[in-house]
Amino acid sequence: MQAVMETLFDAVYLISVITIGVLMIRQSRPGSQYRLFGWMAVVLGAGDSFHLVPRAVALCTTGLEHYTAALGAGKWITSITMTVFYLLLYHVWRKRYQIAGRRGLTAAVYGLAGLRVLLCMMPQNQWLRADAPLSWGIARNVPFAALGLVIICLFYRSAKQHKDRAFRWMWLTIVLSFGFYIPVVLWADAVPMIGMLMIPKTCAYVWTVLIGYFAMKQEQKGKEN
């Protein structure tokens, strides 16, 4: 039952976010915030597929323990693409609120992202092993959490300042995604049931993508009228 339900959920998620991303790319003008948002959604779905597809295959065949290397490699790729996802979201923020300059902020964002990627690339992570060290799992997620916190603050302040109803909950979707993700990093190996928190985490990311999509459609409708 778990294999069927989880595989179905993951399939719906991947197809949904990638489809929405492609639609946004096709329906928005080059260089716009929505074109960037569309690529962000595609990166999210494509990156997650490297982990979720092997997981689905494992659940539906011989079990997760026989796909340790494939799952680890997929998790490694997903860790990198999620970092790219937040870099793109940062640039969505800049375009949406017409932010100019702020070189120090941009340097900080890219510095945190670069540190995260560097830590993910270190062999000490032992991605392909079932007993990968928790200490490195925590270490590589410290700059990632800091990057997420920066993005949360930026969207919260800007949406409030500009009375941006379309993006008023963007900050909350990121809070929820990290709120569900951090316990998984810390305790999922000891308490496997905590891994179920990845489901609401995934839903939070779908909400993030839908916010951008509905904002684009609302703006297009307003121009038509």
Residue-range domains of the chain with CATH: 2-224 (1.20.1070.10)
- Report the pLDDT value the prediction gives residue 220, as an integer from 0 to 100: 84
DSSP string, 148-167: HHHHHHHHHHHHHHTT-STT
**φ and ψ of 34, to 5 deg:** -75, -30
Task: Give the dihedral of Cα atoms 145, 37, 213, 152; nearest 10 deg.
Answer: 30
Residue 201, CA distances (Å) to 68, 88, 142, 143, 204 in order: 22, 19, 18, 19, 5
Residue type, 30: P
What phi-psi label fits residue 100: left (phi over 0), alpha (psi between -120 and 50 degrees) or beta? beta
Instruction: Tell me what pLDDT residue 58 has.
Output: 87
The answer to whether 48 and 21 have CB atoms below 8 angstroms apart is no
Please tell me the predicted confidence (pLDDT) of residue 66.
83
CA distances from 32 to 28, 60, 62, 154 (A): 7, 41, 46, 19
Once rounded to an integer, what is the mean pLDDT over residues 14-29?
95
d(CA 139, CA 87): 19
> With 80 as the cut, is the pLDDT of residue 189 above it?
no
Q: State yes or no: pLDDT of 1 exceeds 80.
A: no
* pLDDT at residue number 225: 61
* CA 112 centroid distance within chain: 16
**Contact between 151 and 107 (Cβ < 8 Å):** no
Mean pLDDT of 46-54: 92
Indicate whether 84 pLDDT > 90. Answer: yes
